[in-house]
């Protein structure tokens, strides 16, 4: 191997796979990327990017409707055109996918269009439209991703039953929509369709919306959704579908009630794309759900085979897949790098946005810290008030003994952007004092972080203190 480039075969071209391929080339590897569908994976083609393009459309729609508040008048009816929104979404996706294709071409990555399957002796057999071929590798990185989970009670062949993928192809606005699952995906689609005028009901079997977020934020978030007319039923699930009709379905809920809606969106998680790719024959261990088992070096149970992204069952986020891709490639070159997810942000692009990183207060206690918090409300922040986006707050979680920043929970305008300031603080061991002493431009949304850092020690001059 010392006399030639390391041969790395990457199976899957999503944010884990194509990033691994490009990073490996930068380090001198000879890289083959096997992709059976579209480069960019779910995130670029059927997830992160298309949903954000659509949400940008409804955000513009909401601003147009708010002319009286901001001092302008829109003549004529302001109404959505879902077909044109979808066309714009497709243009955005195509532009970004073409950019990735160009990067791979310029990097001289050998892209094979087909379905990859692990073989013996670090080989990958690829079934293509033209036939098949076998590629020999020194290292293999599996990055095949995941797809929406399909609960057996739903007939997904019926046009009324949607996944997050098929919902992105609708051309008419549903009059009513039942969203099964109030996690990140469900809440983002609720934001989108609510602005279009769809009557929305959400059911969540757990006791809070956004189950992975801080309980206080989830409760306030639910209240804001209810004010927008979105009905949220917690500790509730769909027991069965009583009737499939041409233009509606009737769902029976666990509380015994029935609900007739035009469409049902099932957003209850994802399942790995691991079946049929020869994992068992190659000796690669999976868990009971089909996820590939890896260590923190991204190594599987077979030497020189790695797995990154959704297929390994970790944090199912595009940015985590890309981080794991860097880790796996570095370890392909013997660099003993471990996955570090301490500063991984979690973002929900709803209205309002929700973001978190690190530990919330409850998790900090469970981890043995003595947490204290600092909070600043957007209702007191100049930039948020000027924008007309003053719902929500920023809360920092800090260790009382060391003043180290442990985490943050946020809800409000642009929090999916400013959360990264806290991620940097966690990753680099910064204290609340250091964060608060950093000059923040005025007026900005990020000032809320500075004020929250000051509030940790009761020093925010913009928070009124009572008592003597």
Q: Would you call 442 a catalytic residue per the annotation?
A: yes
C-alpha–C-alpha distance, residues 316 and 148, integer Å: 12
Query: CB-side exposure of 446: number of CA atoms within 13 Å?
Result: 13
C-alpha–C-alpha distance, residues 209 and 237, integer Å: 13
**Of 158, 440, 442, 462, which one is the catalytic site residue?**
442
The reply to whether omega before 443 is within 30° of 0 (cis) is yes
C-alpha–C-alpha distance, residues 245 and 248, integer Å: 5
SS (HEC) of the chain: CCCCCCEEEEECCCCCHHHHHHHHHHCCCEEEEEECCCCCHHHHHHCHHHHHHHHHHHHHHHHHHCHHHHCCCCCCCCCCCHHHHHHHHHHHHHHHHHHHHHHHHHCCCEEEECEEEECCCCEEEEEECCEEEEEECCEEEECCCEEECCCCCCCCCCCCEECCCHHHHCCCCCCEEEEECCCHHHHHHHHHHHHHCCEEEEEECCCCCCCCCCHHHHHHHHHHHHHCCCEEEECCCEEEEEEECCCCEEEEECCCCEEEECEEEECCCEEECCCCCCHHHHCCCECCCCCECCCCCCECCCCCEEECHHHHCCCCCHHHHHHHHHHHHHHHCCCCCCCCCCCCCEEECCCCEEEEEECCHHHHHHCCCCEEEEEEEHHHCHHHHHHCCCCCEEEEEEECCCCEEEEEEEEECCHHHHHHHHHHHHHCCCEHHHHHHCCCCCCCCCHHHHHHHHHHCCCCCCCCCCCC
C-alpha–C-alpha distance, residues 265 and 186, integer Å: 8
Looking up tokens 């076998």, which residue turns up? 134
Length reported for the chain: 468
Positions annotated as catalytic residues are: 442
């Amino acid at each position: 191997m010392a006399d030639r480039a390391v041969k790395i075969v990457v199976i899957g071209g999503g944010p884990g796979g194509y990033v691994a391929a490009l990073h490996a080339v930068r380090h001198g590897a000879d890289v083959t990327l096997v992709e059976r569908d579209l480069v960019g994976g779910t995130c670029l083609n059927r997830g992160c990017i298309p949903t954000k393009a659509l949400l940008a459309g409804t955000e513009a729609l909401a601003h147009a409707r708010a002319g009286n508040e901001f001092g302008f008048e829109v003549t004529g009816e302001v109404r959505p055109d879902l077909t044109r929104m979808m066309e714009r979404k497709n243009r955005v996706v195509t532009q970004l996918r073409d950019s990735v294709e160009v990067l791979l071409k310029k990097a001289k990555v050998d892209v094979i269009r087909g379905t990859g399957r692990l073989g013996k002796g670090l080989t990958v057999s690829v079934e293509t439209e033209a036939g098949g071929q076998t590629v020999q590798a020194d290292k293999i990185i599996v990055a095949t991703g995941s797809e929406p989970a399909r609960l057996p009670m739903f007939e997904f062949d019926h046009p009324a039953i949607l996944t997050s993928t098929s919902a992105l192809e609708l051309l008419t606005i549903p009059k009513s929509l039942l969203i099964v699952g109030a996690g990140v995906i469900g809440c983002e689609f609720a934001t989108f369709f609510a602005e279009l005028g769809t009557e929305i009901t959400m059911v969540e079997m757990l006791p809070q919306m956004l189950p992975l977020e801080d309980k206080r934020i989830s409760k306030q978030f639910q209240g804001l959704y209810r004010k927008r007319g979105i009905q949220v039923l917690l500790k509730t699930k769909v027991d069965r579908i009583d009737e499939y009709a041409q233009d509606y379905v009737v769902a029976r809920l666990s509380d015994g009630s029935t609900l007739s809606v035009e469409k049902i969106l099932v957003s209850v998680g994802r399942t790995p794309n691991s079946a049929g790719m020869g994992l068992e024959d190659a000796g690669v261990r999976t868990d009971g759900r089909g996820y590939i088992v890896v260590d923190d070096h991204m190594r599987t149970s077979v030497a020189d085979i790695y797995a990154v992204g959704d297929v390994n069952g970790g944090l199912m986020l595009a940015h985590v897949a890309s981080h794991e891709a860097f880790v796996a490639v570095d370890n392909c070159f013997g660099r003993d790098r471990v996955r570090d997810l301490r500063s991984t942000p979690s973002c929900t692009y709803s209205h309002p946005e929700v973001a978190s990183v690190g530990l919330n207060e409850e998790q900090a206690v469970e981890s043995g810290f003595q947490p204290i918090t600092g909070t600043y409300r957007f209702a007191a922040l100049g930039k948020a008030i000027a924008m007309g986006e003053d719902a929500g707050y920023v809360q920092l979680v800090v260790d009382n003994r060391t003043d180290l920043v442990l985490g943050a929970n946020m809800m409000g305008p642009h929090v999916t952007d400013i959360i990264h300031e806290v991620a940097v603080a966690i990753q680099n061991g910064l204290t609340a004092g250091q964060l608060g002493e950093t000059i923040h431009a005025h007026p900005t949304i990020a000032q809320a972080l500075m004020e929250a850092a000051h509030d940790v020690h009761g020093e925010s001059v913009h928070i009124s203190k009572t008592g003597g």
